[in-house]
Structure 1
Amino acid sequence: MLKKILKVIAVCMVLFLGTLFTCNYVINAATIGQTYTSVEKTPTNRVGLILGTAKKLTTGHPNPYYSNRILATVALYKAKKIEFILVSGDNGSIYYNEPEAIKKDLMKAGIPAEKIFLDYAGFRTLDSMVRAKYVFGLDKVTVISQKFHNDRAIYLARKKGLKAIGFNAKDISGRNGLKVQLREYFARVKVFLDLLTNKQPKFYGEKIVIK
């Protein structure tokens, strides 16, 4: 009996790991050559879409993923690789507002307020991509986040009919970076579950024209 149980557990583990690695491989393979680390080599798009994250870590320290995305967005804008910026993030409560925080920091860096548009319902990457197309009317976009996130966002965008490339903000090494990379494996499995079930954004709402 014990041998049968151990055999079942072993098979489940193989299937589980196989699923993780397969989903990761498919997304990586599908997005080869679609992200950029050099501002000069990044194609020009009218709109850059910065994906939100918390400004501070749970420890209270600044979140380097956040600050690096701000720096990447400012660099693209100043190089005239993007004309407008769409900030998509979580605004789940009156105490937590990713888009407003990002807008304030972009403005501090010299980007005019009229060039910044906010998507308050970007609760997930899927929501951000679908809303960029159907709420903000975009046909193509430059996604701004870390590479692992850009790959997933681009894959989702293209499956939803939005042409997307990515500009890679500086990534994070060390223990914090490893934790995020591990979570990304599970997020990529969720991508295929969402596509299989035709998962929709939490909200759509009235259309907003970026101009």
Structure 2
Amino acid sequence: MKTLFKRFIKLLLITLFLLAAVIFISDYWVIRQSKDHTFHSIDELPENPTGLVLGTSKRVRGGGENLYFKYRMQAAVELFQAGKIQFIIVSGDNSIREYNETRDMKNSLIEMGIPEDKIVEDFAGFSTLDSVLRAKEVFGQDSITIISQEFHNQRAIFIGKNHDIYALGFNASDVPKGYGKFITIREYFARVKAMLDVYVLNTMPKFYKDKEPFPNVE
């Protein structure tokens, strides 16, 4: 019995070590691949015809304001008003009738002064990979500025870079420490999945074969 227990502990430790190594390598590689492509300063950010806002819920559980959503909307408006982007794709989950990230983002941007004809809705942005690849495959945009928090932009740029998309990231304001603990932990595993999607599984969006019209870029 003691021998079996020792073998179990040994196997458990090896498994945990390998898992930690995979997480560390994935995190390092995503950061390295996106280096020099994310920006905090609008002045330093190159112009790009199209901005891509990655979706999230407008409200947190309990009904309170989602700061991730709020700061992404503010960042998108700042870029548009500064002339850094001409159009904004709002890409989010619309898988159930009562939940519509895309429509919430569009309505918020309009309320903040963005003309409706400058906003393009992507209702099939079920994941970061879906949103980034659909910008190219569905809307024909292979040069985009991704708008989200820095950690999210890094992963999105990594995905885009490996699918021949020229992607920059404008970093929306981060949330206060402690606000997004679960999001931070989840991101480590999301980076592992992104590595698998890109290098092993060759994952494509759930819907990407039907093309959608996109406004003419000046």
What TM-score do you get using the length of structure 1 for normalisation? 0.97
One-letter code of the match for 1:107?
A: I
- Distance in 2, matches of 1:17 and 1:209, equals 43
Aligned to 1:207: 212
**Is residue 51–residue 87 contact of structure 1 (8 Å, CA) maintained in 2?**
yes
Gaps of 5+ in 2: none
SS of the residue 1:175 aligns to: coil
One-letter code of the match for 2:148?
A: S
Matches within 5 A, 1:21-60: 21-60=24-63
Aligned to 1:162: 165
- Distance in 2, matches of 1:150 and 1:181, equals 13
- Distance in 1, matches of 2:73 and 2:197, equals 29
- Distance in 1, matches of 2:106 and 2:74, equals 13
CA-to-aligned-CA distance 1:105-134 (integer Å, 9 cap, x gap): 101111100000010000001111111001
Matches within 5 A, 1:3-14: 3-14=6-17
Aligned length in residues: 211
- How many angstroms does 1:32 deviate by? 1.2
Alignment of 1:98 onto 2:101: yes
Matches within 5 A, 1:1-211: 1-195=4-198, 196-204=200-208, 205-211=210-216
**Is residue 134–residue 207 contact of structure 1 (8 Å, CA) maintained in 2?**
no
- How many angstroms does 1:35 deviate by? 0.5
- How many angstroms does 1:27 deviate by? 0.4
- Distance in 1, matches of 2:81 and 2:146, equals 16
Gaps of 5+ in 1: none
What TM-score do you get using the length of structure 2 for normalisation? 0.94
- Distance in 1, matches of 2:57 and 2:35, equals 28
- Distance in 1, matches of 2:150 and 2:203, equals 24
- How many angstroms does 1:187 deviate by? 0.3
Report which stretch shifted further, 195-204 or 122-131: 195-204
- How many angstroms does 1:210 deviate by? 2.9
Which 4+ residue blocks in structure 1 deviate beyond 6 angstroms?
none
One-letter code of the match for 1:159?
A: N
**Is residue 128–residue 156 contact of structure 2 (8 Å, CA) maintained in 1?**
yes
Root mean square deviation of aligned Cα: 0.9
